[in-house]
Amino acid sequence: MPYRLYYWPGLPGRGEFVRLALEEAGAPYVDVGRLPASEGGGAGAVVAARKGALGGIPPFAPPILQAGDLVLAQTAAICAWIGERHGLVPADPEARAHAVQLQLTVMDLVAEAHDTHHPLAIGEYYEAQREAAVVKAAQFRKERMPAFLGYFKRVLAASGGPWLLGETRSYVDLSLFQVLSGLDYAFPQAYAREVPAELQVLRQRVAALPNIAAYLLSSRRQAFNEHGIFRRYPELDG
């Protein structure tokens, strides 16, 4: 039975971290939110899943993965679940714990990147908080983004590379690829200035993995846009 991913249609968002893991794993999945409503998909299906229609421990928010009887939410928890069942992380418990550590740090960076355009109220329009967003984004570009990027460069140095955990690619590499791509989309000037060469190489290395390369060329891959986490608002790029 294929996995079923429930995530909002119309933006890559946090669902994309799950898609990249499923694609690299070669695991069959249905991207329910992107199906037509007439086939049981669309935003309505995601809303229903969010409200607990799939049963089990309820989710707080999408992405939600249905894997047989399991219904699992939280991006990092889903990526770890897939990774541990499809060879996207080493088998030893310490490496798996480090993968979770790194994935959570990737997700912290995702949250901070998101908050640059929604610093005051997650449920309000960007335009209503643009002034605060300009302040928040400046601090993100000058301090937080360089701190995170420098950190992942140090991780590569500590592991010996070429991947974050060392000799084998893991779901964390896929997620960092997505964040680097998103930062490049949202903050092209700051990204070009701040990204360490080692992370650019890692980004290209992920994009060249055969399953990922095929995915990126497919219609399953969605472009970044101004509904998602990473938004190109020129005033936020300084």
**Sites of contact with a second copy (CB under 8 A):** 52, 56-60, 69-70, 72-74, 76-77, 80-81, 94, 97-98, 100-102, 104-105, 108, 111, 115, 119-124, 132, 135-136, 139, 143-144, 148, 151, 154-155, 158-159, 165
The DSSP annotation for 47-78 comes to: HHHHTTTT-SSPPSSS-EEEETTEEEESHHHH
d(CA 21, CA 156): 20
Beta carbon of residue 191, minimum distance to a second copy (angstroms, whole number): 19
**Beta-carbon count within 10 A of 153 CB:** 16
The CB-of-102 to a second copy minimum distance in angstroms stands at 7
Q: Which amino acid does the sequence have at 131? A: E
Closest CB to a second copy among 53 and 213? 53
Q: Who contacts 23 (Cβ-Cβ below 8 Å, separation ≥6)?
A: 211, 212, 214, 215, 220
Q: Could you tell me the smallest distance in angstroms from the CB atom of residue 83 to a second copy?
A: 12
| Radius of gyration over every alpha carbon of the chain, rounded to an integer in angstroms | 18
Task: Return the number of the residue (137 or 212) whose C-beta is nearest a second copy.
Answer: 137
Question: In the complex with a second copy, which residue's Cβ is closer, 104 or 207?
Answer: 104
Choose between 5 and 155: whose C-beta lies nearer to a second copy: 155
Asked if residue 64 lies in contact with residue 6, where contact means CB atoms within 8 angstroms, the answer is: yes
Shortest reach from residue 223's CB to a second copy, in Å: 27
Q: How far is the CB of 209 from a second copy (least distance, A)?
A: 22
